[in-house]
């Protein structure tokens, strides 16, 4: 049996839906003039009455998760890469320290630290603190940064705590939380949408068993006190979780995680699901995390209309069957489909009214897969909890981040992380424009919840059609779930680990070299660069050493393609990174089925593909546009 949402909570929902409007006196919104004494009213957010939101900092990069330490300094992890159009990251380290020394509610001090893009960094999502040190995700690692007395940034480079975290596929981020015992719980999300043989493809069945679950789709546990731990299946704590970006620990030590539900039920299985079910299934989830727990992905998803886990179509489901899902663990709360829960924090301070204590704030990044119906999320909600489960309805706490249009490509801001300061203020990060918001309570009764707006019920209808259909921001990537060692052979003199690192460099996840922009995501070639999957080579003899030499020297006078290749691909790759990407390129041309055909570049997919130069001093970087 799996725990379901409590009958009492369901009854409360049913009564409120029948008797109450969703919004109670919504005109009294905190940042719209409903609250008293709101200084620097510059956030333009909609809040319950009595609350005030101000901009604490902005333009700090693609701000993901954040934390606030005992002296009020805010630390933020920022990210870069394909999720943000491979645009040049903000100069300096990807980690940011923000300090308000004057009490004005603004970060007067902004300092950056950690790895830079020039050193091969790409930033990350996860960040935490333990025994006075900052822990942060960077590329495939979690590093520890020790702070000296009187300094808000470390003087030395980070020490590796965990390395080898998977970066392939749809979900390469690694949010985490550290408990009081020094245990690090890390989200190692799925590489695919639903573990299909061909990811996100029409009627492609699920792999059985889903081999991806050995190294993805779950929570892994490590020790914050140990250095140089290596990721492996052995540290898995819980499984069946597609993407758990939010973590929170309540006052009794219970740990909760969010789950971003799967996409494309109608798009991939139109014979089973109606078009509007693309927008309404499955629900997003809040789950109570337990050692050894299995929460159902990919075989199951949570259907809020029947309030239980049901069997996925990839594994024989018909939209009604339960099957093996009766043995999985369901959520303690459910939210509308595709809202994309991101960061989460437990509120236990006294600055907010008592109504908000002992519950969680969740940042919903916002949907894409509700199209052509109206998108949802792009807000921060409050979920009250008691005894390890929902004790009331979800409430929209902060809204209007997106601005005029709710969509991934057009939203002005998208909430990504939430954290509580020592003074009880709530901080919210935005990963579009790098804005950090600070929310405080400034008016009304100290024990009043003020005006609240309830979340739409998870079983609400899709609503009217509002726009065109959408595609996943991650892309489709049919081979996302295939392990690299099943595809790419290893050249003599290299190792499997080198080939895996080389793939990450090739795809721009490490090192900043835009190989895939010129040669295609899988080496198939573009109008900019030749295919790498054939045995015919324009430069060198195609040997491992020859490929490595070409990468180092670059190609200043192309023979058949219109763009040059700068030395090292225009990046600052070190010797080991050059050897790794050369090993991967060699493997592309030696895979089973590789051909020795002519170099005719595919045209249709790359008509609008150009190469631009971005000059930084005397250095020229290259990026696809």
**What pLDDT, on a 0 to 100 scale, did the predictor assign at position 453?**
95
Q: What is the mean pLDDT of the chain?
A: 86
**What pLDDT, on a 0 to 100 scale, did the predictor assign at position 615?**
31
| pLDDT per residue as tens digits for the range 327-371 | 999 999 999 999 999 999 999 999 999 999 999 999 999 999 999
Token match 């949802």: residue? 376
Highest mean pLDDT of the ranges 79-83, 97-101, 465-469, 474-478: 97-101
**What pLDDT, on a 0 to 100 scale, did the predictor assign at position 481?**
74
**What pLDDT, on a 0 to 100 scale, did the predictor assign at position 497?**
86
> What pLDDT band is residue 86 in, cutting at 50, 70 and 90?
confident
Higher pLDDT, 516 or 253: 253
> What pLDDT band is residue 616 in, cutting at 50, 70 and 90?
very low
Nearest alpha-carbon partner for 308 in 316, 318, 296, 298: 296
Nearest alpha-carbon partner for 334 in 455, 249, 190: 455
| One-character DSSP codes across 1-61 | ------HHHHHHHHHHHHHS-SBSSTT--GGGTTSSS-TT-----B--TTEEEEEEE--SS
Query: Is pLDDT at 518 greater than 80 in this prediction?
Result: no
| pLDDT per residue as tens digits for the range 232-282 | 999 999 999 999 999 999 999 999 999 999 999 999 999 999 999 999 999
Query: Is pLDDT at 79 greater than 60 in this prediction?
Result: yes
Helix, strand, coil percentages (3-state) for the chain, rounded to 5, are: 15, 25, 60
- For the chain, list the domains and their CATH numbers: 7-454 (2.120.10.30), 484-624 (1.10.760.10)
Query: Is pLDDT at 427 greater than 90 in this prediction?
Result: yes
Query: Is pLDDT at 222 greater than 80 in this prediction?
Result: yes
Contact 310, 300 (CB under 8 A): yes
How many Å apart are CA 301 and CA 322, to the nearest integer? 10
Token match 């979780």: residue? 241
What integer is the mean pLDDT of 225-238?
97
How many Å apart are CA 181 and CA 131, to the nearest integer? 10
**What pLDDT, on a 0 to 100 scale, did the predictor assign at position 22?**
43
| pLDDT per residue as tens digits for the range 371-418 | 999 999 999 999 999 999 999 999 999 999 999 999 998 999 999 999
Query: Is pLDDT at 3 greater than 60 in this prediction?
Result: no
User: How many Å is the maximal CA-CA distance in the chain?
Assistant: 77
Handedness of CA 298, 304, 308, 312 (dihedral sign): negative
In the chain the first and final C-alpha atoms are separated, in Å, by 51
Q: Beta strands 159-163 and 229-230: pairing type?
A: parallel
Q: Which of 186-195, 325-334, 369-378, 599-608 is least confident?
A: 599-608
> What pLDDT band is residue 484 in, cutting at 50, 70 and 90?
low
Contact 144, 158 (CB under 8 A): yes
**What pLDDT, on a 0 to 100 scale, did the predictor assign at position 13?**
35
**What pLDDT, on a 0 to 100 scale, did the predictor assign at position 449?**
55
Model-level pTM? 0.77
| pLDDT per residue as tens digits for the range 573-597 | 899 999 999 999 999 988 876 655 4
Q: Which of 19-33, 110-124, 349-363, 572-586 is least confident?
A: 19-33
> What pLDDT band is residue 522 in, cutting at 50, 70 and 90?
confident
How many Å apart are CA 420 and CA 163, to the nearest integer? 28
Strand-pair partners of 561: none
């Amino acid at each position: 049996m799996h725990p379901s949402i409590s009958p009492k909570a369901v009854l409360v929902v049913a009564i409120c839906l029948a008797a109450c409007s969703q919004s109670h006196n919504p005109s009294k919104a905190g940042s719209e003039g409903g609250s008293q004494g709101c200084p620097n009213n510059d956030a333009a957010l909609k809040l319950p009455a009595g609350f005030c939101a101000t901009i604490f900092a902005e333009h700090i990069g693609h701000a993901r998760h954040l934390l606030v330490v005992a002296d009020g300094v805010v630390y933020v992890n920022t990210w870069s890469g394909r999720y943000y159009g491979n645009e040049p990251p903000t100069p300096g380290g990807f980690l940011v320290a923000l300090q308000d020394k004057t009490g004005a509610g603004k970060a007067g001090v902004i300092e950056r630290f950690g790895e830079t893009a020039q050193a091969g960094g790409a930033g990350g999502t996860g960040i935490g603190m333990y025994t006075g040190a900052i822990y942060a995700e960077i590329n495939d690692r979690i590093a520890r940064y020790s702070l000296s007395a009187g300094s808000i940034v470390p003087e030395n480079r980070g020490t590796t705590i965990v390395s080898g975290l998977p970066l392939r596929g749809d979900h390469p981020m690694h949010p985490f939380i550290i408990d009081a015992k020094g245990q690090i719980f890390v989200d190692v999300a799925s590489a695919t949408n639903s573990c299909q043989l061909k990811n996100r493809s029409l009627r492609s069945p699920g792999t059985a068993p889903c081999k991806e679950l050995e190294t993805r789709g779950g929570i892994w546990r490590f020790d914050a006190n140990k250095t140089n731990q290596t990721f492996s299946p052995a540290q898995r704590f819980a499984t069946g979780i597609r993407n758990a970006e939010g973590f929170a620990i309540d006052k009794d030590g219970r740990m909760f995680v969010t789950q971003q539900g799967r996409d494309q039920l109608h798009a991939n299985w139109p014979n089973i699901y109606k078009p509007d079910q693309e927008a309404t299934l499955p629900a997003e989830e809040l789950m109570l995390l337990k050692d050894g727990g299995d929460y159902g992905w990919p075989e199951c998803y949570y259907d809020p209309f029947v309030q239980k886990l049901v069997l996925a179509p990839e594994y024989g489901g018909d939209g009604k069957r339960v099957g093996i899902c009766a043995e999985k663990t369901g959520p303690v709360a459910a939210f509308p489909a595709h809202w994309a829960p991101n960061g989460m924090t437990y509120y236990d301070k006294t600055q907010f009214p008592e109504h908000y204590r002992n519950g969680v704030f969740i940042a919903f990044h916002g949907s894409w897969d509700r199209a052509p119906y109206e998108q949802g999320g792009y807000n921060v909600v409050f979920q009250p909890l008691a005894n390890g489960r929902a004790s009331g309805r979800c409430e929209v706490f902060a809204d209007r981040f997106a601005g005029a249009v709710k969509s991934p490509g057009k939203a002005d801001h998208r909430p990504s992380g939430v954290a509580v300061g020592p003074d009880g203020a709530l901080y919210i990060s935005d990963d579009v424009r790098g804005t950090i918001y600070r929310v405080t309570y400034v008016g009304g009764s100290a024990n009043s919840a003020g005006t609240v707006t309830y979340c739409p019920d998870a079983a609400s209808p899709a609503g009217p059609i509002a726009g065109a259909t959408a595609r996943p921001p991650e892309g489709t990537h049919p081979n996302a779930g295939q392990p690299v060692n099943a595809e790419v052979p290893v050249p003599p003199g290299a190792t499997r680990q080198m080939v895996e690192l080389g793939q990450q460099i090739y795809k721009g996840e490490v090192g900043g070299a835009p190989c895939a922009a010129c040669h295609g995501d899988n080496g198939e070639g573009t109008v900019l660069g030749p295919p790498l999957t054939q045995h015919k080579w324009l430069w060198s003899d195609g040997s491992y050493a020859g490929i490595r030499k070409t990468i180092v020297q670059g190609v200043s006078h192309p023979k058949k393609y219109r763009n040059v290749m700068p030395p090292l691909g225009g990046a600052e790759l070190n010797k080991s990174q050059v050897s790794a990407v050369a090993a991967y390129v060699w493997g592309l041309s030696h895979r089973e089925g590789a051909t020795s055909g002519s170099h005719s570049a595919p045209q249709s997919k790359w008509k609008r593909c150009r190469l631009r130069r971005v000059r930084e001093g005397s250095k020229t970087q290259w990026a696809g546009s």
